[in-house]
Structures are given as C-alpha cells and as structure tokens.
C-alpha cells in the first residue's frame, strides 16, 4: 500500500487567494511529481523533483511553484488562485533508479470561484 | 507529440466478459510498461506491469501482453466485474542520466455493465 498523503482532499477558495497543497510520502523516495488532471482528461506533469533542493518544470506550463526542502515533503503553491486553476492535483513519488513504479496520493480537488 | 497513446477514450463491456484495453507507444527506449486504475476523485493505483524483455505478465484476472515489434501492449481483464469500472492509464518508463521518468497515456474509461 502506498504511503503518500495529500491535504487538503477538497478545497474551495476565492480568486486571488494564496494556497498551498501539501504532499508527503514516507517511503523515502527521492523522486516526487505533481500532475494536474481535468475531469476526463489526461494526466499532465507540471513539476517534479529528483531530491532535496531539486525542482524541475514538467511538460505542462503551470503558474504554480514547488519546493523540496525535505525528502518526504513536496508542497505546491499558487500565489494567486484563479478559476482557470480549478482542477485535480495529484502528487506521486518513485525511487530515482530502482523500483519501476510510481505511487500516487489521493489527490486534491481544487475549485476556485 | 504523444509518446503513449490510448486511442479508445471509452469502452463498455458486459459483466463476465473480457475487457481489452489497448495502448501504443512510439519511443523504443521505453523499457517498462505499467497500467494504473483510477476512480473519480482518487489517485491512480498501480495495477500490473511488464518489462520490455517479456511478452506476457499475469496477475489474477489481469494479464498484460506486450508486442514489442508493433510497439503495442494490451490489458486483458477476465472476467470483467462492475467494480472494474474506472479509467485505466497506460504508462511507460524511460531512463535518463538522472533516473527514471514515466510517460502516461490519456486513459480509457471502462464501464462494466451488470
């Protein structure tokens, strides 16, 4: 069973607010990822990290930012939320080289009014 | 350009029958393939995988077949159950100098009808 957690699970917020989506994993994985998925659409990689102090942009441009100060923690921040940010945000982790599987968190469903 | 394709956005199957979900890829550097299952409002969960050096992997009701020459893989679910209704993502792994990277297909929504 995957030990990767996301909070909050659901968030409704007004335009212009700053929000941080939390993601933590207890598997000691070096690599972590953030995906964005709209209903019925594909997963889009927006950020990833190879380890502490590493952050990279993914395939889909995003106005969000991430940080990786600790191995187990990979929060995503939106400085000023807009309705276009409404989506599901999925965090995942994997080993850097070894086990060939990504583990996903339960997701955060964000609604910006 | 999509490196992992799932050309059927949706599939409906009668309970008890076989479900076949297909996936095609273009990058010959992919060395591992995975299937994930996703329910609404939840994260994807790993289902089954196959190494590029194999052509079949079976786990209970789930079997994945890989045709490397055709760059095609398929997931068979037999017998299909209503609880299998979900979106299925095909994913592929490629290694680079920094580690492993995963590329996902767009998903196929499976509906198993009672």
Does A33 score more than 80 pLDDT? Answer: yes
Are A42 and B106 inside 8 Å of each other by CB? yes
Q: For residue A104, count other CB atoms closer than 10 A to its CB.
A: 22
A31 touches chain B (CB under 8 A): yes
Per CB-CB distance under 8 Å, the chain B contacts of A97 are 95, 99-100
Residue of A nearest to B51 (CA): A100
Are B42 and A40 inside 8 Å of each other by CB? no
Mean per-residue pLDDT of chain B: 94
Report the alpha-carbon distance of residue B109 to residue B64 in Å, rounded.
Answer: 17
Residue A2 is predicted with a pLDDT of: 61
A1 touches chain B (CB under 8 A): no
Closest CA to A55 of A33, A35, A36: A33
CB B6 within 8 A of CB B110: no
Partners of B82 in the β-ladder: none
Residue B17 is predicted with a pLDDT of: 97
B2 vs A7: which has the higher pLDDT: A7
A60 touches chain B (CB under 8 A): no
Does A97 score more than 90 pLDDT? Answer: no
Q: Model confidence over B16-68: pLDDT tens digits?
A: 999 999 999 999 999 999 999 999 878 999 999 999 999 999 999 999 999 99
Residue B1 is predicted with a pLDDT of: 66
Report the alpha-carbon distance of residue B78 to residue A98 in Å, rounded.
Answer: 31
CB A75 within 8 A of CB A18: no
A67 touches chain B (CB under 8 A): no
Q: Pick A96's closest partner by Cβ from B32, B49, B99.
A: B99
Q: Report chain B residues touching chain A, CB-CB < 8 A.
A: 32, 34, 36, 40-46, 49, 89, 91, 93, 95, 98-100, 102, 104-107, 109
pLDDT confidence band for A61 (50 / 70 / 90): confident
pLDDT confidence band for B98 (50 / 70 / 90): confident
Partners of B8 in the β-ladder: none
CB A106 within 8 A of CB B44: no
Q: Pick B107's closest partner by Cβ from A2, A42, A106.
A: A42
Residue B100 is predicted with a pLDDT of: 81
């Amino acid at each position: 069973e995957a030990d990767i957690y996301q909070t909050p699970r659901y968030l409704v917020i007004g335009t212009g607010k700053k929000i941080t989506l939390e993601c933590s994993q207890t598997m000691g994985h070096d690599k972590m990822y953030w995906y964005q998925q709209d209903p019925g659409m594909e997963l889009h990689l927006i950020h990833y990290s190879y380890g502490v102090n590493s952050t990279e942009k993914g395939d889909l441009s995003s106005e969000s930012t991430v940080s990786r100060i600790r191995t187990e923690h990979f929060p995503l921040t939106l400085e000023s939320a807009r309705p276009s940010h409404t989506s599901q945000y999925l965090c995942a982790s994997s080993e850097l080289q070894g086990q060939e599987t990504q583990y996903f968190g339960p997701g955060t469903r964000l609604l910006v009014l | 350009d999509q490196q992992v394709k799932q050309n059927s956005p949706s599939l409906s199957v009668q309970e008890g029958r076989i479900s076949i979900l297909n996936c095609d890829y273009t990058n010959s550097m992919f060395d591992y393939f995975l299937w994930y299952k996703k329910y609404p409002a939840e994260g994807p969960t790993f289902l089954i995988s196959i190494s590029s050096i194999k052509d079949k992997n079976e786990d209970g009701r789930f079997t994945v077949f890989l045709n490397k020459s055709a760059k095609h893989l398929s997931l068979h679910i037999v017998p299909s159950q209503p609880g299998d209704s979900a979106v299925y993502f095909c994913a592929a792994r490629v290694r680079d100098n920094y580690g492993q990277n995963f590329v996902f297909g767009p998903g196929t929504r499976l509906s198993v009808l009672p």
